[in-house]
């Protein structure tokens, strides 16, 4: 075993050396095992520019604040030239890769946005007016016009209102939306706002990681307990869909997501040839990203653990965790009693902390309350359970059932203070079922799933996402309202009155740092 590990490191070092011989391309960015100083990383080392000619290796690693994020492309290395994921296809110069960066776990961190602004300036396609600014009508060269992307990593998502179904037909909503305040000005804008010729609700969201998608598209069970129906059938393919792809479930297949993203994020009008769409989907489906090394824990596939993207690529998707027989984050259970070596005590202590964090994740129970999608579907409100109640899919922590839940990240009174975001007042129409816990009038920064369904019960529901590689893509929650993993844990601790001890918080944080 030790010999095999040594061999692995020889290979890694050899690859590092090879990449180090290249010029300033993202391939340079593979860190040496101890090179964990992200502040020193140059933007040219981290940021994959749309349309540039790169070689995408089988494994691609970047430093994060606490370790190394590695992205694995299972078919192996390839040249990106002409690949539609890496090629600007629309009018704004962006490609998919612009907002789904390997250094950020195939999402985009606020830090990367800031570095691109500082080094490449406002004309970089990342800051495209349509969604990379607070509103397209603002002066685009000014930093303030892009403040939400720069400070919170948020992109503008303009949803039609009234909503439209997946066939494009209008849905009669159960609720009315009023604007309470909007520092971005976009929802009141004459051209882009709620009263514009094409009325839209502008909300601001973090990009979801384009990786580990076999888990997001998997269907563990045929029934969705939250909607009270079997999984929805995609009309185009005729097959059920997971409902776990997008924050508001506005698209249910990778094909639909790709088309939507091409239109709304790359300004591509018209139909992309099917072969090109399939190349995008094939690439997305074969990308796995996870933390591979931690500054304190060392290699995450060491000491009996099975972290990192390779194990993730091999793991089956859509499996429900069981606290007793196969708990989530069992990848790190072997560290519960990490072997002691005289020169590695800090490492041992950290690994044990990770294992404790995993045990807390499944075993530390609290009262889950007032969370539409969980506490209104028959379990009762409140219901005693743990983090793994919702984050229940083995290996990734998504929800095996479609994960639209109102945790309070966007709805008042639970949302973190977000004065820079729009605030809406939603009023349920007579006869409509009210939001189960917030009543008939709800204040929210993002109506979430209700922007797709038009239903009061769905206000503020946001689809749970994969927790793998999360350390590489701050800030957190759909609206970037938690800057750090510690703030994520603090939110839950307060929201559900978990009364976590400082040690428990730290253990959970350490767990999240190695996913």
Partner 1 sequence: MSLVRCAVVLLLMAAAHTAVAQSRPELHTFITCPIYRDTDAGRKSGCWLAEDPQGVRYDVTLGPVKPQVGHLALIEGVFSSEPNSACGGRVLEPVRVAVLEESCERRIIPADNYPGRPFKSPPEMLAPSDQPRSLPPPPYTEKSFSIYFEYERDFLVYQYAELILEKIVLYAKASQAKRVQVEGFAATEPLVVHGRTLREPLTLAKARAEMVAEALRRLGVPDASISLTWHGAPRKTLDLEGGKLPEPSKRRVVVTVTP
Residues that bind partner 1 (CB under 8 A): 219-223, 225, 228-233, 240, 318-320, 323, 365, 367, 369, 375-386, 389, 433-434, 436-437, 439
Nearer to partner 1, 9 or 223 (CB): 223
Nearest to 113 by CA among 231, 104, 487, 267: 104
Give the DSSP per-residue string, 29-80.
GPPPTT---GGG--HHHHPPPTT---EE-SEEEEE-SSEEEEEEETT--EE-
Nearer to partner 1, 85 or 389 (CB): 389
User: CB of 50 within 8 A of CB of 125?
Assistant: yes
Q: Measure the CA–CA gap between 295 and 313, rounded to whole angstroms.
A: 23
Question: In this structure, are strands 404-405 and 462-463 parallel, antiparallel, or unpaired?
Answer: antiparallel
- Min dist CB 478 to partner 1, Å, is 25
Nearer to partner 1, 433 or 494 (CB): 433
Token pair 């990379």 is at which residue? 132
- Min dist CB 379 to partner 1, Å, is 6
Q: Measure the CA–CA gap between 194 and 190, rounded to whole angstroms.
A: 8
Task: Label residue 161 left, alpha or beta by phi (over 0 means left) and psi (-120 to 50 means alpha).
Answer: beta
- Min dist CB 372 to partner 1, Å, is 11
Nearer to partner 1, 135 or 358 (CB): 358
Listed in sequence order, the residues at least 6 apart from 386 whose beta carbon sits closer than 8 Å to its beta carbon are: 323, 360, 361, 362, 363, 364, 365, 366
User: CB of 126 within 8 A of CB of 132?
Assistant: yes
Nearer to partner 1, 285 or 381 (CB): 381
Nearer to partner 1, 381 or 427 (CB): 381
- Count Cβ atoms within 10 A of the Cβ of residue 4 and give its class: 0-12 exposed, 13-18 middle, 19 or more buried: exposed
- Min dist CB 254 to partner 1, Å, is 18
- Min dist CB 168 to partner 1, Å, is 20
- Min dist CB 460 to partner 1, Å, is 17
User: CB of 383 within 8 A of CB of 410?
Assistant: no
Nearer to partner 1, 31 or 460 (CB): 460
The conformation of residue 435, written as its DSSP 8-state character, comes to: B
Nearer to partner 1, 258 or 359 (CB): 359
- Min dist CB 464 to partner 1, Å, is 17
- Min dist CB 205 to partner 1, Å, is 28
SS3 of 266, please? helix
User: CB of 454 within 8 A of CB of 163?
Assistant: yes
Strand partners, 60: 71
């Amino acid at each position: 075993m030790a010999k095999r590990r040594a061999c692995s490191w020889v290979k890694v070092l050899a690859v590092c050396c090879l990449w180090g011989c290249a010029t300033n391309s993202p391939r340079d960015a593979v860190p040496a095992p101890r090179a964990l100083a992200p502040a020193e990383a140059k933007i040219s080392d981290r940021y994959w520019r749309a349309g540039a000619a790169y070689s995408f290796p089988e494994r691609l690693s970047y430093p994060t604040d606490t370790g190394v994020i590695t992205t694995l492309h299972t078919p192996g290395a390839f040249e990106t030239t002409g690949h539609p994921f890496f090629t600007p296809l629309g009018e704004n110069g962006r490609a998919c890769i612009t907002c789904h960066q390997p250094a950020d776990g195939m999402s985009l961190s606020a830090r990367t946005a800031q570095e691109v602004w500082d080094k490449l300036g406002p004309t970089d396609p990342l800051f495209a007016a349509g969604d990379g600014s607070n509103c397209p009508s603002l002066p685009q060269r000014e930093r303030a016009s892009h403040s939400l992307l720069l400070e919170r990593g948020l992109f503008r998502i303009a949803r039609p209102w009234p909503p439209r179904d997946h066939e494009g037909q209008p849905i009669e909503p159960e609720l009315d939306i009023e604007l309470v305040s909007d520092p971005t000005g976009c929802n009141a804008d004459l051209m882009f706002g709620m009263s514009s010729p094409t009325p839209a609700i502008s909300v601001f969201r973090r990009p979801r990681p384009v990786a580990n998608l076999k888990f997001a598209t998997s269907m563990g069970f045929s029934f969705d307990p939250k909607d009270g129906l079997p999984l929805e059938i995609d009309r185009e393919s005729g097959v059920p869909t997971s409902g776990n792809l997008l924050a508001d479930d506005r698209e249910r297949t990778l094909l639909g997501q790709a088309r939507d993203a091409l239109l709304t994020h790359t300004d591509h009008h018209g139909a992309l040839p099917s072969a090109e769409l399939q190349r995008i989907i094939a690439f997305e489906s074969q990308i796995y990203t996870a933390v591979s090394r931690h500054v304190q824990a060392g290699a995450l596939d060491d000491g009996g653990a099975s972290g990192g993207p390779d194990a993730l690529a091999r793991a089956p998707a859509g499996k429900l965790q069981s606290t007793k027989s196969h708990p989530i984050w069992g990848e790190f259970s072997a560290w519960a009693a990490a072997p002691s070596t005289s020169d590695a005590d800090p490492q041992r202590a950290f690994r044990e902390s990770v294992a404790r964090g995993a045990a807390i994740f499944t075993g530390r129970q609290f009262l889950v309350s007032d969370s539409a999608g969980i506490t209104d579907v028959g379990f009762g409100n409140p219901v005693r359970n743990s983090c793994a109640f919702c984050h229940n899919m083995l290996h990734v922590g998504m929800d095996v059932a479609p994960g639209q839940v109102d945790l309070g990240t966007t709805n008042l009174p639970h949302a973190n203070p977000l004065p820079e975001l729009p605030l809406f007042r939603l009023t349920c129409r007579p006869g409509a079922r009210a939001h189960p816990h917030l009543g008939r009038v709800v204040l929210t920064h993002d109506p979430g799933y209700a922007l797709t369904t038009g239903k009061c019960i769905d206000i503020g529901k946001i689809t749970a996402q994969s927790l793998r590689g999360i350390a590489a893509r701050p800030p957190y929650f759909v609206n970037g309202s938690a800057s750090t993993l510690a703030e994520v844990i603090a939110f839950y601790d307060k929201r559900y009155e978990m009364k976590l001890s400082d040690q428990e918080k730290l253990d959970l944080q350490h767990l999240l740092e190695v996913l």
